[in-house]
Homo-oligomer: A and B are copies of this chain.
Amino acid sequence: MIKNDLIIRACKREKTERTPIWVMRQAGRYLPEYRAIRDKVSFLDLCKSPELAAEVTIQPVDIIGVDAAIIFSDILVIPEAMGMKLSIEEGTGPVFSKPIRTEADANTLMKIDPSDKLKYVLDAVSLTKRELNGRVPIIGFSGSPFTLLTYMVEGKGSKSFSNIKRFIFQQSTAAHKTLDFLSDNIIDYLSAKISAGADLVQIFDTWGGILSPHHYEEFSLRYMEKIVNELKVKTDKPVILFSKGIGPSYEKLINTQADVIGFDWTIEFSSVVNKVAGKKAIQGNLDPTVLYASEKTISEEADKILNAVGSTGHIFNLGHGIHPDTEPAKLKFLVNYVKEKSKRL
């Protein structure tokens, strides 16, 4: 069915003829072709227009040559579908005008039926599936419960994360109830994406790393595990867990049912491989800002990663989303380099 199924096989730790690569935020502002579409439509309208979302989803497959398409969307469409008013402004980022601060606030959140409120995402998946025609796999994604809750409580970007920390430390029962409710919604959402055609899914835990390790387990990991366990009952599609900035806590992800652990660039793969190999596939982890450097530096840094992980069970990726001010030619160089070099390893 899928012509280039390298990523699927890497997820299962099967031998592949080379290391596959995709890049977080590969459908994004660094591409002039994406900006041309965004000149005509807002970010949220782009998310909500299945035709345009499918178009920008496929752009990096055509232009950069990545080994997977990831459905263009935003992690905050879930809280929006649960009833929170969301606006996303260039520069300031996402804003919820009425953030969750109390149990009463949380009780106003509605259970979503993905085929109703989030139909536009499922339509984008089906449309992408048809247009890709099996060239590469399609990745569906969701934010983790804790990451969604962080945005829902903070209401907008934060440096101190005081509001979410107050919420979990002062109202932990309400926090756990909301995290559990979010988990149920995410399970339904990812299941619907898979039914619509997603070949694998990734859970983005952007903010798990702001917690101490035991709070990470309590408020973030526990709920990601609930989601993975449920998905594994419903489907055989691979699941990637990506918790940013958790340092040594990645070891706790080895014991989950996820297929792949995603790493940011602050972990050295040479110290990870012995613990993870044979148990989980590994995704990552080039510092996205290395793409500002010369081709020589980019290839040296890519080599460090390729040499440390070896050729089996590795999905090359950046350690975080590609920066909007990256030259597309640099990403293309990296993609070609990883493809060619890993063939020879």
Residues of A whose CB lies within 8 Å of any CB of B are 157, 159-162, 165-166, 169-170, 209, 211-215, 245-248, 265-268, 271, 287, 289-290, 292-294, 297, 304, 319, 323, 325
Establish whether residues A292 and B169, one from each chain, have CB atoms under 8 Å apart when the complex forms.
yes
Given A160-B323, A162-B325, A247-B247, A213-B266 contact (CB < 8 Å)? yes
Nearest-CB residue, chain B, relative to A264: B212
Establish whether residues A287 and B215, one from each chain, have CB atoms under 8 Å apart when the complex forms.
yes
- Give complex CA distance A245, B212 in Å: 11
* Chain B residues positioned under 8 Å from A165 (CB to CB): 287, 289, 292
In the assembled complex, 13 residue pairs joining A and B whose CB atoms fall closer than 8 Å, in A order, are: A160-B323, A162-B289, A162-B323, A165-B292, A166-B292, A169-B289, A169-B292, A169-B297, A209-B266, A211-B287, A247-B266, A248-B248, A248-B268
| Chain B nearest Cβ from A145, distance in angstroms | 19
Establish whether residues B213 and A268, one from each chain, have CB atoms under 8 Å apart when the complex forms.
yes
| 7 additional A-B residue pairs with CB within 8 Å, beyond A157-B159, A162-B289, A212-B287 | A160-B289, A211-B287, A212-B265, A212-B319, A215-B287, A245-B245, A247-B247
* Chain B residues positioned under 8 Å from A170 (CB to CB): 292-294
- Give complex CA distance A312, B162 in Å: 32
Which of A215, A266, A271 neighbours the largest number of chain B CB atoms within 10 Å of its CB?
A266
* Chain B residues positioned under 8 Å from A319 (CB to CB): 212
Nearest-CB residue, chain B, relative to A165: B289
- Give complex CA distance A159, B271 in Å: 27
- Give complex CA distance A213, B323 in Å: 20
* Chain B residues positioned under 8 Å from A297 (CB to CB): 169
The residue from B159, B161, B267, B294 contacting A248, defined by CB atoms under 8 A apart:
B267
- Give complex CA distance A247, B271 in Å: 12
- Give complex CA distance A212, B319 in Å: 10
- Give complex CA distance A209, B266 in Å: 7
Establish whether residues A166 and B248, one from each chain, have CB atoms under 8 Å apart when the complex forms.
no
- Give complex CA distance A224, B121 in Å: 49
* Chain B residues positioned under 8 Å from A267 (CB to CB): 213, 247-248
* Chain B residues positioned under 8 Å from A325 (CB to CB): 162
- Give complex CA distance A170, B293 in Å: 5
Establish whether residues B162 and A290, one from each chain, have CB atoms under 8 Å apart when the complex forms.
no
Establish whether residues B289 and A166, one from each chain, have CB atoms under 8 Å apart when the complex forms.
yes
Nearest-CB residue, chain B, relative to A216: B266
Nearest-CB residue, chain B, relative to A167: B292
Which of A160, A162, A212, A271 neighbours the largest number of chain B CB atoms within 10 Å of its CB?
A212
- Give complex CA distance A247, B166 in Å: 24
* Chain B residues positioned under 8 Å from A215 (CB to CB): 287
Establish whether residues B169 and A266, one from each chain, have CB atoms under 8 Å apart when the complex forms.
no
- Give complex CA distance A268, B216 in Å: 11
The residue from B157, B160, B248, B294 contacting A247, defined by CB atoms under 8 A apart:
B248
- Give complex CA distance A267, B160 in Å: 18
* Chain B residues positioned under 8 Å from A289 (CB to CB): 160-162, 165-166, 169
- Give complex CA distance A292, B175 in Å: 15
